[in-house]
Amino acid sequence: LCEQIKELNMEGYEVILVSSGAVGIGRQRLKMRRLFHSSFADLQFPQYELAGKACAAVGQNGLMALYDTLFSQLDVTSAQLLVTDNDFREPEFRLRLTDTVKSLLNLKVVPIFNENDAISTRTAPYEDSSGIFWDNDSLAALLAMELKADLLVLLSDVEGLYSGPPSDPNSELIHTYVKEKHQGEITFGDKSRLGRGGMTAKVKSAVYAAYAGIPVVITSGKAADNILKVLEGQRVGTLFHQDSHLWAPVDEIRVRDMAVSARE
């Protein structure tokens, strides 16, 4: 990921990164710390679940330390920006945010956004009518619109959006999402163990941004150079675009209809 961002920076692209991982890193660190400080008697009892906000607070600096180490090896400077849902209710904040990001991009710095879970006032369920964003996918879509991005790429652990759970051999990769066609046909699998929304959240965020005029691609973050391939126009992942209904037929065309159309 960092190597691709470095290459894009060298080619003149302005890259903004929205990253999760703070809670996962914090939970891992706190579990190890609790284990080291536990007596043998303590370990005989079930371990209580660690508070998510404490995990986020501990893990945030670990996450940024990781990015700083990786980017520094590539001679790239990164910056951390933490936001909460309520921040975006203030017009003054939104103006300052845009100015700060523009300044960073002009200096070839990569802004790394994450929700400030440690002090966020929202609690589960995360998605409700009063929220502005609910997870890092919807935060990425919101930032893409707020900062007038040319493209939003959402990275997943699978190749893109499938017609059914990716583990199902009958599921097919959807290369271009057409809301009128696919909205009621897709069956989603389980969400990530650590994330909040999984592919369902990604699709909602992608449709949200696409219909606001920002093209979106959902693709695998594990496959090599996928972001570069997207920018080269290669057919990877799933494309979301406000005009996609003009490119693909909404209904399946029968063989006879195709033959008649060809003859005519």
Would you say residue 137 has pLDDT above 90?
yes
Over 50: is that where the pLDDT of 194 sits?
Answer: no
The neighbour count for residue 20, using CB atoms within 10 Å, is 18
Which residue type does 245 have? H
Residues belonging to the chain:
264
Q: Which residue shows structure tokens 């990604």?
A: 202
Domains and CATH numbers, the chain: 1-123 (3.40.1160.10), 151-263 (no CATH)
Query: pLDDT category, 128, cuts 50, 70, 90?
Result: low
State pLDDT tens for residues 24-61. Answer: 898 888 887 766 666 655 555 555 566 778 888 999 99
Sheet containing strand 17-18, strands side by side: 17-18, 110-115, 78-83
Is 240 strand, coil or helix? strand
C-alpha 187/C-alpha 172 separation (Å) is 11
Q: Which amino acid is at 178?
A: V
DSSP class of 170: T
- Hey, what are 109's tokens? 């710095």
- The residue among 66 and 244 whose pLDDT is bigger is 66
**Is the per-residue pLDDT at 160 higher than 80?**
yes
Q: Are 109 and 77 in contact (CB under 8 A)?
A: yes
| pLDDT at position 196 over 90 | no
Rounded (5°) CA angle 10-114-191: 105
Q: Tell me the two tokens of residue 123.
A: 């609690």
Q: What is the mean pLDDT of residues 95-108?
A: 97
pLDDT, the chain, mean:
85
36, 238, 241 from 174: Cα distances, Å:
48, 6, 13
pLDDT band (50, 70, 90) for residue 263 = confident
What pLDDT band is residue 142 in, cutting at 50, 70 and 90?
very high
**Quick one: pLDDT band at residue 17, thresholds 50, 70, 90?**
very high
Cβ neighbours of residue 145 under 8 Å, at least 6 residues apart? 209, 212, 214
Q: In this model, does residue 124 exceed pLDDT 60?
A: no
Quick one: pLDDT at residue 118?
A: 84
Q: Give the pLDDT of residue 170.
A: 86
Question: What pairing do the DSSP bridges indicate for beta strands 238-240 and 216-220?
Answer: antiparallel
Q: Name the token pair of 241.
A: 């675009």
Q: CA–CA separation, 130 vs 28, rounded Å?
A: 32
